[in-house]
Amino acid sequence: MRLQALAAALNLPPTDLPDLPVRGVTHNADWAGPGDVFVAIRGARFDGHRFIEQVRQAGAVAVLGEGLPDGLTSPLPYLRVPDARAALADAAAALEDQPSRELRVVGVTGTDGKTTTAWLTRHLLRAAGLKTGLLSTVGYELPDGELRHFPAHFTTPEAPQVQRTLRELVTAGADAAVLEASSHALALERVRGVDWDVAVWTHLSREHLDFHGTVEGYFAEKRKLVERARHAVLNADDPWTAQLTGLAPEETTYSAEGTQADWTAHDIREGAGGLDWRVTSPLGEFQAHLPMIGRFNVANALAGMAAAAQLGATKEDLIAGLAYFRGVPGRMELLPGDGAAPRVIVDFAHTPPSLEKALATLRTTTPGRLWVLIGSAGGPRDPGKRAPLGEVASRLADHAVFTEEDCRDTSLADILREMERGAQETGHENFTTIADRAEAIAWIIRQAQPGDTVLLAGKGPEDTLERADETLPWDEVAVARAALAAWAAPATP
């Protein structure tokens, strides 16, 4: 694309721009290269305009921004835009030639359940014969099914990476794509420019208040997905859904708790082999089986089925697809075992409601004691959930272990004291505090017996562990497997 064509795509007034080719767009000066357009974003700590000379030397051909600061001139053509982040997303979509318009796109948002719902939806669409890609917090997949990860420096994919991945999906022959849409992605316009066919709403609870300020602010960002989609799939059991009804041109509702809805679950049974229930839906009534633990996954399955049906999946596709879904890495992931050792499960639950759901579910299928390991993130992230996490862990588990979970620049001791306080307010002293997460995992598995269940909560599939002065590679499943192997090994004389 030429610079003049990009300016036209952004609806900017005609100006005397040089006829230069544009290779890409970025807001990070360190990523800029020859032929790029640099978007100068004013952030809380840095103003991107300070890096114009750096990107010029790197070969950038133009700058987009909301206006040059007083006293600063640009050696590159400067295009003034009303909203720099919006311009970053719109430019990225234009440079990739609007790839989402060549796909059928499902977006999934909510506090809890969005990853499992996104993976289920992707799986059911594939069962229906659609070549489907996925962009998830766990990674991204092309239609070939291989899970990939963005480079380490992309802590969260920005708009250019989202659009580039969508173009990669089109090139790989995809018919559809399923994207997780986090509140940050919506607020920071990372998924602006995506043409949404279906928006799925799972559930809302307190989270990310350090960024959004209030629950209402958090909700306002997430509702953007519903507002931008042609069809909404809404959880009738979530109180926030009342404020979403009517925002999309079309909508479908679902309920796993007996609320009147288009898709409903009845006679739910949970056993060693997974979940079974009866579905009533616009496609008719049928029996469903999902080889996952966790009664709450019935709601995720209903949401995924409703979304897949909207894109053409039949009742037979849904029945067959659910029956062989293998789950999501780090989401109620059951580690392989022979029954002679404790049952160990890795899950991403890191909010009080999600931890409560996980523990309540495991309690019903655990003949022995229920153990849980949990930490709470540091930094400016919502400190108000630390004590509630401790309270939930102590109240619902037989024994809790409090440990680290990305403490960052917050004192780990302070975080752990807050979790202990929450536990003590239940009147229980059934907890142990072990600061080092690897040591805590080894300890909790060593204490458990056959018939017990150990839930390792909070990290799930994340591949780093952040401390005050270092970021370590992390694999929760590998650490747990090593601890299980040590548990099963004969004692050394």
pLDDT at 381: 61
Q: What is d(CA 374, CA 125) in angstroms, rounded to the nearest whole number?
A: 34
Q: Would the pTM of this model clear 0.85, i.e. be above it?
A: no
Q: Is 410 annotated as a binding residue?
A: no
Give the burial class of 331: count Cβ atoms within 10 A of its Cβ; 0-12 exposed, 13-18 middle, 19 or more buried.
Answer: buried
Q: Is 112 annotated as a binding residue?
A: yes
Name, of 86-95, 345-354, 371-380, the range with top average pLDDT: 86-95
Instruction: Give the tens place of pLDDT for each residue, 283-315.
Output: 999 999 998 888 889 999 999 999 999 999 999
Tokens of 214: 């209030």
Contacts of 256 (CB under 8 A, 6+ apart): 237, 264, 265, 268, 295, 296, 298, 299, 302
Q: What percentage of residues in the chain have a pLDDT greater than 70?
A: 95
pLDDT at 402: 97
pLDDT at 80: 95
Q: What is d(CA 438, CA 145) in angstroms, rounded to the nearest whole number?
A: 31
Instruction: Give the tens place of pLDDT for each residue, 226-241.
Output: 999 999 999 999 999 9
pLDDT at 14: 75
Instruction: Give the tens place of pLDDT for each residue, 444-461.
Output: 999 999 999 999 999 988
356 contacts 393 by C-beta, under 8 angstroms: no
253 contacts 268 by C-beta, under 8 angstroms: no
Tokens of 282: 């616009």
Asked if residue 488 has pLDDT above 70, the reply is: yes
189-193, 241-245, 361-365: range with lowest mean pLDDT = 361-365
Indicate where the chain has its CATH 3.90.190.20 domain(s).
333-488
DSSP 8-state symbol, 241 = G
Q: Is 453 annotated as a binding residue?
A: no
pLDDT at 150: 74
Q: Is 182 annotated as a binding residue?
A: yes
Give the burial class of 116: count Cβ atoms within 10 A of its Cβ; 0-12 exposed, 13-18 middle, 19 or more buried.
Answer: buried
143 contacts 137 by C-beta, under 8 angstroms: no
Crossing angle for the helix pair 386-396 and 352-364, to the nearest 10 degrees? 10
Q: Is 115 annotated as a binding residue?
A: yes
Q: What CATH code would you report for 3-95?
A: 3.40.1390.10
pLDDT at 332: 83
Give the burial class of 230: count Cβ atoms within 10 A of its Cβ; 0-12 exposed, 13-18 middle, 19 or more buried.
Answer: middle
DSSP 8-state symbol, 335 = P
Mean pLDDT of 317-338: 86
Mean pLDDT of 147-170: 82
Asked if residue 409 has pLDDT above 90, the reply is: no
Q: Is 245 annotated as a binding residue?
A: no
Instruction: Give the tens place of pLDDT for each residue, 415-435.
Output: 999 999 999 998 888 999 999
Spelled out in words, what is the top-level CATH class assigned to the domain 99-323? Answer: alpha beta
302 contacts 263 by C-beta, under 8 angstroms: yes
Asked if residue 245 has pLDDT above 80, the reply is: yes
Q: Which residue reads 């996952």 in tokens?
A: 292
Q: What is d(CA 455, CA 403) in angstroms, rounded to the nearest whole number?
A: 13
Q: Work out the number of other CB atoms within 10 angstroms of the CB of residue 311.
A: 21
Mean pLDDT of 22-42: 95
CA atoms within 13 A on the CB side of 360: 10
Q: Is 156 annotated as a binding residue?
A: yes
15 contacts 31 by C-beta, under 8 angstroms: no
Contacts of 45 (CB under 8 A, 6+ apart): none
Split at pLDDT 50, 70, 90, the class of 43 is confident
- Nearest alpha-carbon partner for 404 in 394, 391, 414: 414
Contacts of 15 (CB under 8 A, 6+ apart): 7, 79
Question: DSSP 3-state assignment of 346?
Answer: strand
Q: Is 113 annotated as a binding residue?
A: yes
pLDDT at 493: 46
Instruction: Give the tens place of pLDDT for each residue, 159-218.
Output: 999 999 999 999 999 999 999 998 788 888 999 999 999 999 998 875 555 555 588 888
Asked if residue 144 has pLDDT above 70, the reply is: yes
Asked if residue 337 has pLDDT above 80, the reply is: no
Q: How far is CA 63 from CA 14, 17, 35, 95, 182, in A?
A: 16, 12, 11, 15, 28
CATH 3.40.640.10 for the 333-488 domain, yes or no: no
Asked if residue 267 has pLDDT above 90, the reply is: yes
Q: Is 155 annotated as a binding residue?
A: yes
Length of the chain: 493
Asked if residue 262 has pLDDT above 70, the reply is: yes
Split at pLDDT 50, 70, 90, the class of 380 is low
Contacts of 204 (CB under 8 A, 6+ apart): 110, 111, 215, 218, 219, 222, 238, 240
Backbone CA torsion sign across 148, 152, 157, 158? negative
Asked if residue 484 has pLDDT above 90, the reply is: yes
Mean pLDDT of 399-424: 94
Indicate where the chain has its CATH 3.40.1390.10 domain(s).
3-95
Strands of the sheet containing 78-80, edge to edge, are: 24-26, 36-40, 62-65, 78-80
Backbone CA torsion sign across 201, 205, 207, 212? positive
Crossing angle for the helix pair 476-488 and 437-447, to the nearest 10 degrees? 40
Q: What is d(CA 234, CA 237) in angstroms, rounded to the nearest whole number?
A: 9
Instruction: Give the tens place of pLDDT for each residue, 57-82.
Output: 999 999 999 999 988 999 999 999 99
Mean pLDDT of 402-412: 92
Indicate where the chain has its CATH 3.40.1190.10 domain(s).
99-323
Q: What is d(CA 193, CA 91) in angstroms, rounded to the nearest whole number?
A: 9
Q: What is d(CA 311, CA 333) in angstroms, rounded to the nearest whole number?
A: 28
